[in-house]
Homo-oligomer: A and B are copies of this chain.
Amino acid sequence: MNAAATPAYDALMAQCARMQRLEHLQAIATWDRATHMPPKGNEARGAAIAEVTALLHRMRAAPSFGQELERAEQEPLTQEQRADLRELRRRWDADTALPEALVEQGALAGARCEHAWRSRRPAHDWDGFLDDFRPVLANAREQAARLAERLGVSRYEALMAQYEPGLRCATVDRVFGEVRQWLPALVQEVVERQRTQALVEPLGPFALPAQRALCEHAMRLFGFDFEAGRLDVSAHPFCGGVPEDVRLTTRFAEHDFLSALMGTIHETGHARYQQRLPRPWLARPIGQPRSMAIHESQSLAFEMQLGCHPGFVARLAPLLREAFGAQPAFEPQNLQRLLTRVKPGFIRVDADEVSYPAHIILRYEIERPLIEGAIEAGDIPALWDVKMMELLGVDTRGNHRDGALQDVHWPSGLFGYFPCYSLGAMYAAQWFAAMRRAVPGLDAHIDAGDLAPVFDWLETHIWSQGSRWPTDELAERASGQTLDPAHLEAHLRRRYLD
């Protein structure tokens, strides 16, 4: 392929590299705001981040970019270059579908509602919340309608596409429909089984420097490259930065080392995906992470598949004794029970691996008709109560704080993301099923403390592939099939009922 024959494609790639360098600054400033920035810096920082965000939007949505894209689509390109354009076309269509005023209005309404929600949630103030939430919902519906028209998909699909391109409601319906058939009974069966298990709680306090050292040790075991990233503390853990310099955060509580540790392992899954994206393609669209469901499949592969694997737990036990001194709770069998305790509850972010999908199915079954106009905001609490009872057997009536007011997503105008969490858990189970077929004795490796075969498989099939393939094709190439929730069911039955 002669480079001179593809001037439009080359110009697009140069522009992508420029935008990525500005996104680098945006990522570091965003990380710093969450980890190091003193309070009086907030206003200027917000304005600086908004400035580069607006600048990037103008670059992405510039008419000249669209014209260049059309020209490039006529050029003689390799298969990988075509994949670059597929990604750019998708983003261009989405970026130019919405009038700037609508996006700004949505951001404002979301910021206002989220701010008010922080005090309305503890006050159980559902009616007050509704006043701020209605404009947020109206704006999201309008954005969904315009995106849907441009992309030729349904309105809810248009919102999901921002996080998981190509995902159809038919797929989500099929997958969540299957899960709905076995999950409620499985949850109850596991709860029944665990009722008679003895369980020793760890006894704190656990000194924060020892917790930090433990988290960094775990990150090393999971292959995090500290020459290309850091661990810091923030109120809400996240994985930010850039592939060459991944900024991972956690938060520590003196009486609970497990949530910092497992949270760190979760974020390390995201981090390794970023750190191991294909180097030569980092500035190209095909060098980006595939999608949010695939991203979540990496964090959950690390946290759930590996982090709660008996082989890893056995390895963790002596590390805990070293960090905090010996105590009965640190016996491997007890640790394993602590990490796999199933307890259906109100709160999604505190949910165990087994009941978690129930929380997601509930949100999908509410936010989809909400966006499509089949239900209104005022209908949420009644639906919430019914579905929590159906799925988890939990009574939420009258408890708005721990019900529909618990998540930041809806108040801030974020719809269509929730499915990615559980799709990620399913993909993670699917990857491990494929790995077990490909690597004989995989569990014996993990039991022996050798995680290399896992990382090799993920690197070959997921990390190195970036956005080269659409998600379905990535899944087929990696595991021989598109998304199949049977692997999650098999994983849960094996871990919790065998």
Chain A residues proximal to chain B, CB less than 8 Å: 18, 21-22, 24-26, 28-29, 32, 36-41, 43-45, 47-52, 55, 225-230, 241-242, 244-245
Contacts and interface: CB of A to CB of B under 8 A. Distances in A.
A295 to B, nearest CB: 20
Contact of A29 (B25, B37, B47, B51): B25
A225 B38 CA distance: 10
Q: How many copies does the complex hold?
A: 2
Contact of A48 (B21, B41, B229): B21
A43 B39 CA distance: 30
A104 to B, nearest CB: 16
Contacts of A26: 25
Contacts of A44: 21, 24, 242, 244-245
Contacts of A226: 38
Contacts of A244: 40-41, 43-45
Contacts of A21: 44, 47-48, 50-52
A12 to B, nearest CB: 17
B51 A18 contact: yes
Contacts of A18: 51
Contacts of A245: 37-38, 40-41, 44-45
A377 to B, nearest CB: 35
What 3 A-B pairs have minimum CB-CB distances, sorted nearest first? A41-B245, A21-B51, A24-B48
Given A28-B28, A29-B29, A51-B21, A230 B38 contact: yes
Contacts of A22: 48, 51-52, 55
A48 B25 contact: yes
A233 to B, nearest CB: 13
Contacts of A45: 24, 28, 244-245
A18 B228 CA distance: 31
B230 A40 contact: no
Contact of A227 (B38, B43, B225, B227): B38
Contacts of A29: 24-25, 28-29
Contacts of A47: 21, 24
Contacts of A37: 245
Nearest to A243: B44
16 contacts: A22-B48, A22-B55, A24-B45, A24-B48, A25-B26, A25-B52, A28-B32, A28-B45, A36-B230, A38-B245, A40-B225, A40-B228, A41-B241, A41-B242, A41-B245, A44-B242
A91 to B, nearest CB: 20
Contact of A32 (B32, B40, B43, B225): B32
Contacts of A229: 38
Nearest to A49: B25
A248 to B, nearest CB: 12
Nearest to A46: B21
A37 B242 CA distance: 11
Given A22-B48, A38-B229, 9 more contacts: A24-B47, A25-B28, A25-B29, A28-B32, A28-B45, A41-B244, A44-B244, A45-B244, A45-B245
A21 B22 CA distance: 13
A372 to B, nearest CB: 39
A41 B25 CA distance: 12
